[in-house]
Structure 1
Amino acid sequence: MLLPRRWTATAAIPAAATVCVLALLVLAGLISFGAAAATLAFLVALAALAYLAFSVRRLDGKAQRIDLRIRKHEAELARTTAALKTIETRLDQVARAVEDSAARRADDLGAILASLGEDRVNAMTRAREVEALRAEVRALARDSV
């Protein structure tokens, strides 16, 4: 498709030829000056209308390309939004799993510490019992001598 500038440059040669022909016809007396001026005004109006039609057609093509680009970007944005929602859902699941794991770990650590505490208390009680038994054995050993 011709660009408006190129179309104008291409139309300049026939326009100059038309003006020359009209001037020759006026000088030869074949048509009146008023008829030549009216013909020239009509041709200028037609040229302007053609120029505007080409310009509008070109702008319409640009608008269509822009519209296609916008639709492409909207589709890409929709895909990205869907992917982000999927990722967000997955992150929520992972966060819940981490929280559950942390709670289980805290419970396990509490149970381990409680168990260690019970073992220590039991060991201390046994140590006292063993010490008491040793004292009795020593006392018996002294009495028997």
Structure 2
Amino acid sequence: MLSPRRLAATVALLAVLAACVLALLVLADLITFGAAAATAAFLVSLAALAVLLLAVRRLDGKAQRIDLRVKKHETELARTTTALKRIETRMDLLVQAVEDSAARRADDLGAILASLGEDRVNAMARAREVEELRAEVRALAKDAV
């Protein structure tokens, strides 16, 4: 297919040739000026239709390329959306695992603190018992003297 520039140059050359032929026919009195004008108008309208046809074909080609590009982007968007959903699912699993771990850690810390508290209370009770035993030993030691 001819490029738009080459096609325009060819059409311009043919238009000049047609105008020259019509002028010669009018000068030779083979056709009337009105018939030549009507023929020229008809040729101009045919040329305009040809230009419109080429413009429509070019626009149709561009529309097809744009449509293909849009479909390509839609496919990429669908793939990206699917990947994001997978990532979101993984993130939800990780968040749940972190929350479970934090809950277990909190339970463990609570148990450790509770056992430390119990040990401290027991140690205080034992310290009192030891103090009482010392007091008894001192009292016995004083009585023995």
- TM-score for both structures, normalised by structure 2: 0.92
* Amino acid in the other structure paired with 2:29: G
**CA RMSD in angstroms, aligned pairs only:** 1.4
Tell me the matched-pair count. Answer: 144
Q: Which runs of 4+ in 1 moved over 6 A?
A: none
Q: What's the counterpart of residue 97 of structure 2?
A: 97
Does 2:126 correspond to 1:126?
Answer: yes
CA distance in 2, matches of 1:63, 1:103: 58
Gaps of 5+ in 1: none
Does 2:24 correspond to 1:27?
Answer: no
CA distance in 2, matches of 1:131, 1:116: 22
| Greater RCO, 1 or 2 (C-alpha within 8 Å, sep 6+) | 1
CA distance in 2, matches of 1:12, 1:74: 44
Q: What's the counterpart of residue 80 of structure 1?
A: 80
CA distance in 1, matches of 2:23, 2:10: 21
Structure 1 residues 46-85: aligned runs within 5 Å: 46-85=46-85
CA distance in 1, matches of 2:100, 2:77: 34
Q: Percent identity?
A: 77
* Structure 1, 6-15 or 63-72: larger mean CA deviation: 6-15
- TM-score for both structures, normalised by structure 1: 0.92
Deviations 1:30-55 (A, max 9, x none): 22223322322222122111111111
